[in-house]
Amino acid sequence: PRFRGKHELRRYENGMERCIGCMLCEAACPTGAIYVEAEENDPLHPLSPGERHAKVYEVNLLRCIFCGDCEEACPTEAIVLGHDFAMANYNRRDFILTKQELLNPGEP
């Protein structure tokens, strides 16, 4: 698809996060709009199938140029550019998407 909208983090069918905290998306971003902090997975209750998961995942929509490099760099297809284009906000802080907002894109 040609259109690239607001970012989304995807999960597997079993509910586990696809993001393994490799930070390749952060490295691929030409504007530095993505910030990732990785953390080791708890062996008893892993959040992702890898050894690590993203403890903090933020996307700054004010810096993003919606090029799709993060999407291409991700080995697990965790981050995708969705179809949501209505991104008007009153506060600049609302343009920085947190991990919870990215994992649950339809919720307010």
Domains and CATH numbers, the chain: 7-102 (3.30.70.3270)
Residue 108 has pLDDT above 60, yes or no: no
Rounded CA separation 95/106 (Å):
16
Rounded CA separation 35/46 (Å):
21
Q: What is the pLDDT of residue 105?
A: 78
Structure tokens given for 58:
């933020």
pTM for this one?
0.90
Q: What is the pLDDT of residue 85?
A: 82
Give the tens place of pLDDT for each residue, 17-50: 999 999 999 999 999 999 999 999 998 999 999 8
Q: What is the pLDDT of residue 1?
A: 59
Rounded CA separation 94/73 (Å):
26
Per the CB < 8 A criterion, the answer to whether 3 and 83 are in contact is yes
Give the tens place of pLDDT for each residue, 41-100: 998 999 999 899 999 999 999 999 999 999 999 999 999 999 888 888 999 999 999 999
Q: What is the pLDDT of residue 8?
A: 95
Rounded CA separation 51/21 (Å):
9
